[in-house]
Each structure stands twice: as structure tokens, then as C-alpha cells.
Amino acid sequence: MDKKPGILLLIGLLVFSLAFFTTGCQAPATGPQPAKPEVIKITIHDPSTILTFKKGMEYFQKEVPVRTNGRVEVEIITGGPMGDWEEQPDNIQQGVFDMGMVSPTHTPGKIPLWSVALLPGITDSIYAHNMALVELAKHPSMIAELEERWNQKLLFPGSMDAFEMMTERPITSIDNLRGFPIRAIGSAAVMLNKLGAKVSAIPGPDVYTSIERGIVDGAVFPVDTFAERKIHELAPNLTLSGNLGFFFGLVTMNLDTWNALPADIQQIMLEVSQEAVTTNFEVYHEINMATKKTFEAAGVKVTRLPDNEIARLQELAKATWEDWIVEMENDGYVEARKIFDLWVELVRKHEANDPWAAKWWPERR
């Protein structure tokens, strides 16, 4: 008997069974898989917990994922594992990380036009300083310095409070500063050097032990930073003048990273960045109130330089303005004087509407 028909029938049944189980029993379709979120990495060099620009970054970190429905996540890396302040412009430019803070205070030579906002004696108002920065950032030359020279998109600026002095013994005249060993950076260092002080650019975290060891007898910081770093424990005399300038930073993103983002994501980030500036002021109000309580409890002596001494400081500050303009023009920045005039105009505009001045350190006035 020919067995071929039976064999063919058996093969057919096996093929049918295989087809049934591979098509009818497969896992149900789940639809298109969601795209992995874009992760934006931000670095913050200083590990301090209450710096206002960090609060702005934390606001950015919190809000952007929510408003983008999880399409973007933001990771903050603190402590400078990928470079110190001086390396921030280069690291962001090269895409070592996506976003961070560029500090003209530490790198004035790398973004020289922005150093106009470091000049002392123009204002003691953090509100006016920060809001003037927001407007100054719209000027084509300020945009070009970041985007064309450093491949960076500015998202928002962050000002800290005005520089002031905290010392072991009281300062009642600027003549007291001649030969005085003190820690300072930026515009404050320029001013104090002109006054004959012995200025050291000691890193912030090392200032406490430097005072403790007698290397310096005081320091210049934004007022709240004294409390954060516990400087008042060793140098309990706070001298207010409002004429030593500011520490500020620019929160920027690598321009290639920025340009690769969809337009709607960019718009959300710009909106959140604007809100971060306001958040800084609200946070700073809380910080200043806490700082005052700390100083009161510790018996810190808060004094304002006499008017005649402040007038002497202001004259010294004005000399640094012209020095800055001439230096910038010699370096090829032909519009330096116009940038300076615009900066002063913007500061005066926002000083007139400062809602915080009377709440923080009215002793300055």
C-alpha cells in the first residue's frame, strides 16, 4: 500500500498547527512604545545648599519634566565633579554636560562684556541687579558673546546679594582696610586692592579655616553666605556699604543641545526660566530673614559705614567704571561705553520698582 498520501496529510497537519500557534497565540499588541525622555544634565560647581542660583536650577529641574509630560528629565550634579568654576564655560561649550552656570565673577576674561554687571558702586539692590541682567541679555552683543563665542544659550541669570565685609574687628573707615588681610574676589577684590588691603582669593569652603588659622582676618561674601559658611562665628562684625559689587552667574545650555530640542520644549524651558528668576527673589527673602535671625542670636554687630566713608567708596568705584570701559575698548569692544550706559540705565529703572529693598537690609540706606 502507498504510504505517501498519509505522510503528506501528517505534514500538512503539522504545518497548520504551527501556523495556528504562532499567529493565534502570540502576545497581544501593545501599540507604539513611548520614546525615552531627553535627559538634561546640569552641573553646579558649588555644593552649597542655599545659593539662589541653585534654587532656580532646582525649580527648573522640578517644573520642566511636569510641563513636558515626562518628555524631558533634568538631572543636577553638584560639587563640581566635571570641573571648577573656571572650567564651566569650556565644559558647557564642549558638551561635557548640557547645562550649568557660567560665573563672570570667576571668569571675567572669558565673557568680558558680561563683566559690566560686576562693576561696584552702581547698586546694592539684588532685585535691580537681576532684573537688569534679564533685560541686558536681550542685547545682540550679549547674546553673541555666549552663542557665537561659547556655543551657549542663556536661560536665566542669578544674582546673589551685594558683597559686604565680615571681620574680626569692626571696620569704621575705609582707612582701616589698609594692610588688612581679607578674602575677596571679583569687583570687591579690585576695590579692596585699591584701598591697600592684603587680598586673598581663598576658595569659599576654605575661608572659615583660613580665619581660624589667622591667614585672613575677615572676608567678603554676599551677606547670607556668611551665615551659610558660619563666618560670623569667628568674625562677628558685619559692615554694610553696598558698594563692593555682586556675585552673579548665568545659567546656560549647550547651544547644540538647545537647537536639537523641539520648539515646544524650548518654549516651555524659556517660560520656566523666567519663573526661576522670580523664584530666586522669593527664596532669597526667606534666606535673608533666616540670616538675620542667625546673626541676632549670635550677637553679630551690624553697622553701616558712615556717609562720608561711603562717598569715598563711591568715588573709588566710579574710577573702576572708566577703567573697565577703556580696557574693553582697547580689547576691541568698541561699544563698551554704550553697554555700560545701558547697564546703568537698566539698573536705575528697576531700582525704582524694587519691592524687596526695605525688607532685607535697610541698614544700607
Residues in the chain: 365
Residue 85 is predicted with a pLDDT of 77
pLDDT tens, position by position, for the chain (365 residues)? 454 444 444 344 343 443 433 444 444 445 555 566 777 877 765 555 445 567 788 889 999 999 999 999 988 877 655 667 788 899 899 988 898 889 888 888 899 999 999 999 999 998 999 999 999 999 999 999 999 999 999 999 988 889 999 999 999 999 999 999 999 999 999 999 999 999 999 988 899 999 999 999 999 999 989 998 999 999 999 999 989 999 898 999 999 999 999 999 999 999 999 999 888 888 888 888 899 999 999 999 999 999 999 999 999 999 999 999 999 999 999 999 999 999 999 999 999 998 877 666 666 66
Query: Are 153 and 250 contacting, i.e. CB atoms less than 8 angstroms apart?
Result: no
Q: How far apart are CA 245 and CA 115, in angstroms?
A: 11
Q: Tell me the pTM.
A: 0.84
Where do the domains of the chain lie? 38-364
Residue 221 is predicted with a pLDDT of 95
CATH number for the domain whose boundaries are 38-364: 3.40.190.170
Task: Give residue 248's Cα distance to chain centre.
Answer: 6
Q: Tell me the Cα Rg of the chain.
A: 28
Residue 340 is predicted with a pLDDT of 98
Residue found by looking up cell 571679583 in the block = 186
Q: Which three cell numbers stand for residue 210?
A: 583660613
Residue 281 is predicted with a pLDDT of 80
